[in-house]
């Protein structure tokens, strides 16, 4: 998917979660992508967007999952679901980042098996050498 930001999202309240998952294109890596977000649904209210890549579901890396296993994880999530998403940066956002201030970004997202909490992890700016 290229350059992007990582976002941790916790959806609460149980199904329906308000999004549709599909398998993306690729020769070796076929990412899971959010293909639809229901207006006003749980995913919409948490900031999930169409085109987001799902990196992990409830702490399980999606690179190790089949689409059927991902659907099973979603279906068995009863009270909350944790998603680690990779959001694509469009060309306008890339240009803004280049013209505003060149920096190196480090991304960090820690997911635990503890109680569900809604968190948004923002990149940490580190001065370039």
Domain ranges of the chain: 4-126
Q: pLDDT digit of tens for each residue in the chain (129 aa)? A: 456 789 999 999 999 999 999 998 876 778 999 999 999 999 999 999 999 999 999 999 999 899 999 999 999 999 999 999 999 876 555 555 555 555 444 444 444 445 554 444 444 445 455
Q: CA triplet 67, 32, 40: central angle to 5 degrees?
A: 105
Query: What's the CA gap between 14 and 34, in Å, rounded?
Result: 18
pLDDT of residue 110: 47
In CATH, the architecture of 4-126 is Roll (2.30)
At 74, give phi and psi (nearest 5°): -65, -45
Length of the chain: 129
């Amino acid at each position: 998917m290229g350059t992007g930001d990582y976002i941790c999202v916790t959806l609460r309240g149980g199904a329906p979660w308000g999004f549709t998952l599909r398998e993306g294109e690729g020769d070796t890596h076929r990412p899971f992508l959010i293909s639809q977000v229901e207006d006003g649904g749980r995913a919409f209210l948490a900031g999930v967007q169409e085109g987001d890549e799902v990196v992990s579901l409830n702490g399980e890396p999606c690179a190790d999952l089949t689409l059927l296993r991902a659907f099973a994880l979603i279906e068995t999530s009863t009270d909350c679901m944790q998603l680690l998403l990779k959001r694509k940066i469009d060309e306008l956002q890339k240009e803004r980042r280049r013209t505003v201030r060149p920096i190196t970004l480090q991304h960090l997202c820690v997911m635990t098996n503890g109680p569900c909490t809604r968190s948004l992890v923002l990149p940490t700016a580190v001065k370039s050498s």
